Amino acid sequence: MPAQSTRDQIVEAADALFYESGLEATSFADIAAAVGISRGNFYHHFKAKDDILEAVIARRMERTRAMLDGWQAEGEGPRERILSFVHMLIANRTQIMDFGCPVGTLCSELAKLDHAAQGRATEIFGLFRDWLAEQMRALGAVDRAEMLALHLLAWSQGVAVMATAFKDEAFIRNEVAGIERWLASLPDFSQST
Amino acid sequence: MPAQSTRDQIVEAADALFYESGLEATSFADIAAAVGISRGNFYHHFKAKDDILEAVIARRMERTRAMLDGWQAEGEGPRERILSFVHMLIANRTQIMDFGCPVGTLCSELAKLDHAAQGRATEIFGLFRDWLAEQMRALGAVDRAEMLALHLLAWSQGVAVMATAFKDEAFIRNEVAGIERWLASLPDFSQST
DNA sequence: ACAGCACTAGGACAGTCGTCCTAGTGCTTA
DNA sequence: TAAGCACTAGGACGACTGTCCTAGTGCTGT
């Protein structure tokens, strides 16, 4: 296997630390220690802390795009694709109960910090929104596609926040079951309107 | 009017700053400057930063309880009371779009920090959950009262997160309308089960 | 009038933050 | 072989962090 470049190691470590500890609570020393390099070293790779955040967001966007493309290429119908999205809540339940949703919590933290990268972080949500809207359109809900996509995104975010607060796995499964019922009722809804 | 004690001023300023800037990004110097007292002064009122957080959470619980009691005493039916809760999303839309939900964002930040006060912050959610469950029971949904309460809480949290990310007021109003429709459909649901 | 106390200001403290600088690796290319 | 460059280590920097200490205020009760 090709050895991972130091730069990539930094971005990967920063990505995990930003998720698990938050952006503000993660210091350069933490990242350097996680990678195993000296603190002064990575000013050769990143001019400032904001540059690392920028790289982390870019990495997350890339990986999100790859994940969505993967679901798209699996050849199943739009309903199955949406289910792939929804089932992330169960697949990642342990991390979600510990740290919340990586996208939602980052956007919230950047909003409070009034950070310049806020818009770029929101673009990750935009990827999900656009992909989900495309699936909704494929289901026949052309007019309400974007509205339905945002609704499903919000529902998932709400589940993540409450799961983090209450550490309740049964709640996650209940809500996912509710989403599945809602999803099953969607085609009828789009036909009747 | 009775002059507000210095201690109360500190807690009030810290409450606002924790909400608007986050716990980690708010320093003693920030709070002291907001109140207009010296940095060293409030070690007479609070032994450590965690004590201020404790006081802020206690204040929020007190005010939440008072708010819920107020809605309870207004003499209307359970559906109107639940609507009072839901309409917080619209009444506080500006702050929510800027900083998210005070409870949800605090719980998420404390989870990432692995902070000892995490459980106490979640208790604020517990107040809402119990109060909403009581209203659900009054609506006739005895078996599913707590589940419905958690669902509504999660829905609201999801709306808050997405509103913060996208700064979209129309989205908030759409979702609130959706909640209202869901709420109107609830009695039928509880009778049929 | 005087002792006691609640309260306040302001600075000292060790530690950490993000940032920058310098010296020194080892590989690449001419 | 020699020059150049990408990369690394480690420390210095001023600013800021949470915490603690001391001196001084003004009100309280005796």
User: What is the distance in angstroms between the Cα of A113 and the nearest Cα belonging to chain B?
Assistant: 6
B191 has a pLDDT exceeding 80: no
C1’ C3 / CA B7, Å: 27
- Which chain B residue has its CA at the smallest distance from A162's CA? B154
A108 touches chain B (CB under 8 A): yes
Predicted pLDDT at A176: 98
Question: Higher pLDDT residue, B49 or A75?
Answer: B49
Q: In the predicted model, what is the mean pLDDT of chain B? A: 94
Predicted pLDDT at B3: 63
pLDDT digits (tens, 9 = 90+) for A32-79: 999 999 988 989 999 999 999 999 999 999 999 999 999 999 878 999
Predicted pLDDT at B192: 41
Range B118-136 average pLDDT: 98
Contact of B154 with A159, CB cutoff 8 Å:
yes
Angle, CA of A39, A42 and A43, to the nearest 5°: 100
Candidates B108, B18, B107, B96; CA nearest to B55 is B18
Range B49-73 average pLDDT: 97
Question: Higher pLDDT residue, B8 or A193?
Answer: B8
pLDDT digits (tens, 9 = 90+) for A140-157: 999 999 999 999 999 999
A134 has a pLDDT exceeding 90: yes
Percent over 70 (pLDDT), chain A: 95
Range A115-136 average pLDDT: 98
- Rounded to the nearest angstrom, the gap between the alpha carbon of residue A72 and the centroid of all alpha carbons in its chain is 17
Confidence of residue A3 (pLDDT cuts 50, 70, 90): low
C1’ D16 / CA B80, Å: 50
Range B153-180 average pLDDT: 98
Predicted pLDDT at A1: 43
Answer yes or no: do B157 and A156 touch at CB < 8 A: no
C1’ D29 / CA B50, Å: 35
Candidates B41, B34, B5; CA nearest to B17 is B34
Distance CA B28, CA B30 (A): 5
CB pairs under 8 A between A and B: 120
pTM of the model: 0.94
